[in-house]
Amino acid sequence: MGGLIRMQTRVLVAYATRYGSTQEIAEVIVATLRESGLEVDIEPAKEVKALEGYTAVVLGAPIYMLRWHKEAKSFLSRYREALMKRPVAVFALGPFYDEEEEWKEVRAQLDKELEKFPWLTPVAIEIFGGKYDEEKLRFPDNILVRLPGSPLHNMPAIDIRDWDAIRDWASKLVAQFQPALAH
Ligand SMILES: Cc1cc2nc3c(=O)[nH]c(=O)nc-3n(C[C@H](O)[C@H](O)[C@H](O)COP(=O)(O)O)c2cc1C
C-alpha cells in the first residue's frame, strides 16, 4: 500500500543585477511566495552552488544593450541538467515606457536570448518595467549612455516597476510550482 507523499515545494529565486532594481523585484517575489506557504531561498545567480533540494527555480535578470545579464545565461548553462527536471520561471527587466511597442521589443530581446537554451521550457516568462537613474550609473554605462544617438542620455530618473504586477505574477507561480503528487 503506497502512501500518498506530498513533496515539499522549495523554491530558489536566483537573480543577476547591476544596480539593484532586479534584486528588489526578486525580494518581492520571495515575500509573495513565502506568504503562500512555500519555502524559498534567494541568491545571486553567480553564487548558487547546487540546485539539489529545490523543486522549482525563478531566474530574473535585467537586459542591457539587448543582452540578458550574462550571469543569468551562465546560470542556465551551468545548471542545464537540473533545470531540465524542474519548473523554471524567468523574468527580465526592463522597459522604461508604458508603450506596448517597447514591451514587445524587450520581450523579443529576451526570447532571442532564451533561444540559446532550446532545452529550457519555462513555465512562465515575464517582462517587468525597469528603473533608471543616470546619476547612479558606473563605468562603462555612464559613458555608453552619453554616446551620440543614445536615447537614454539626459533621460530623467524613472522607476516603472509595477509591484502589483510583480506580486500577481509571483502568486500565479505557486500553482505551477506544486510538484506532482507521488504515490
Ligand atoms: C546602459 C543601459 C542599457 C540598457 N539596455 C537595455 C536594453 O537593451 N533593453 C532593456 O529592456 N533595458 C535596457 N536597460 C534598462 C535596464 O534593464 C533597467 O535599468 C533595469 O532596471 C536595470 O536592472 P538592475 O538595476 O538590476 O541592474 C538598459 C539600461 C542601461 C543603463
Express each pLDDT in 29-88 by its tens digit: 999 999 999 999 999 999 999 999 999 999 999 999 999 999 999 999 999 999 999 999
Options 3.40.50.360, 3.30.70.141, 3.30.470.20, 3.30.450.20; CATH of 10-175: 3.40.50.360
**Closest residue (by CA) to atom 6 of ligand 1?**
64
Domain boundaries, the chain: 10-175
**Closest residue (by CA) to atom 28 of ligand 1?**
64
**Closest residue (by CA) to atom 2 of ligand 1?**
64
Q: Is 129 in the pocket of ligand 1 (CB under 6 A)?
A: no
| String of DSSP letters for the chain | -PPPB-PPPEEEEEE--SSSHHHHHHHHHHHHHHHTT-EEEEEEGGG----TT-SEEEEEEEEETTEE-HHHHHHHHHTHHHHHTS-EEEEEE---S--HHHHHHHHHHHHHHHTT-TT---SEEEEE--EE-GGGPPTTHHHHTTSTT-TTTTPPPEE---HHHHHHHHHHHHHHHPPPPB-
CA of 93 relative to ligand 1 center, distance in Å: 7
Q: Which atom of ligand 1 is nearest to the CA of 16?
A: 26
Predicted confidence band of residue 183 (pLDDT cuts 50, 70, 90): very low
CA of 18 relative to ligand 1 center, distance in Å: 9
- Contacts of 13 by beta carbon, 8 Å cutoff, 6+ apart: 26, 29, 30, 33, 40, 41, 42, 43, 57, 58, 60
Q: Which atom of ligand 1 is nearest to the CA of 15?
A: 26
Express each pLDDT in 92-139 by its tens digit: 999 999 899 999 999 999 999 999 999 999 999 999 999 999 999 999
**Closest residue (by CA) to atom 31 of ligand 1?**
141
